Amino acid sequence: MQSTAELVLDARCGVGESPLWSVAEQALYWVDIPAGRLHRWDAQSGLSRHWQAPEMLACLARRGDGPGFVGGMESGLFTLTTPEAAALECHRLAEVAHAAPGMRFNDGRCDRQGRFWAGTMVMDMAARRAAGALYRFDARGLQPMLQGLLVPNGLGFSPDGRTLYLSDSHPASQAIWAFDYDPDDGVPQRQRLWVDMKTLPGRPDGAAVDEDGGYWICANDAGMVHRFTPQGRLDRSLPLPVAKPAMCAFGGAQLDTLYVTTIRPADLAPHEQPLAGAVFALRPGVRGLPEPAFAGPS
């Protein structure tokens, strides 16, 4: 196991989020939320490029019925296609009725059955307004499944698909919950506090699950990624050279590389954390699982 972070790309993302490894392309995709950009990095050539979205773009999943992605933006869920041109081709799948002004989608991913799950948040975190919700999108449409959240994050599913994990990144919460999850009907039940991050370094941000059921979560403000066992025990913490890791994803030819996107705060001085907003790679000594593709209506 190598715990030293390797620089993948100095992307200078304001909020680098939703890393997604393409097994077919051997390439990493991720978003820069405030810039509304979708990025791509090719592992073989090392070349990168990006596309521009018409709104802030927060989360991604591969489409299972064709090329491109499904993504959560400010006004709803969209299909996203990456043309040769610099602008994404976007078509709305579902409009969201936010509970308050100034909201957008945040963290999101598919369950093992291909349903897309994504949370919404009030962008002004200082308002401390619990207007966020966790949505499920499938053939039944876009439905709120859990409400009263501040900054929903850390979505993940156990390898057998029967446990759903969810965190709230807000300083007032800093909780990670586990739910029993019915893979047949896509309904989470029996919510319980799984980890109280107030007692640990960092706020819980985006996450990934390895093939052994370990839950890896970015510790925002602490500059590390924590791994918890399926029993909720802190197993290890891997450091990064920046303070604000945002989300992680397994990739590489053997799915044994943990890619981490990070945040570059707008008020950061040029000499402070010069690599903030970059993408890093860790070698955690475990393998991940291929990310499920979206199987819903398009």
In the block, tokens 């439905």 appear at: 143
SS3 of residue 11 by DSSP = coil
Token pair listed for 78: 């969209």
SS3 of residue 78 by DSSP = strand
Quick check: is 205 catalytic?
yes
The number of residues in the chain equals 298
> With the C-alpha atoms ordered 13, 123, 55, 62, is the resulting torsion angle positive or negative?
positive
Burial of 1 per CB tally in 10 Å (0-12, 13-18, 19+):
exposed
Nearest-angstrom CA–CA distance, 13 and 37:
9
Token pair listed for 127: 């308002």
Catalytic residue among 107, 111, 168, 205: 205
Torsion, CA 210, CA 214, CA 218, CA 221, rounded to 10: -160
Burial of 26 per CB tally in 10 Å (0-12, 13-18, 19+):
middle
In the block, tokens 């800093």 appear at: 174
SS3 of residue 198 by DSSP = helix
Q: How many whole angstroms from its chain centre is CA 235?
A: 21
In the block, tokens 């890896």 appear at: 216
**Inter-residue contact 27 to 40 (CB < 8 Å):** yes
Residues taking part in catalysis: 205
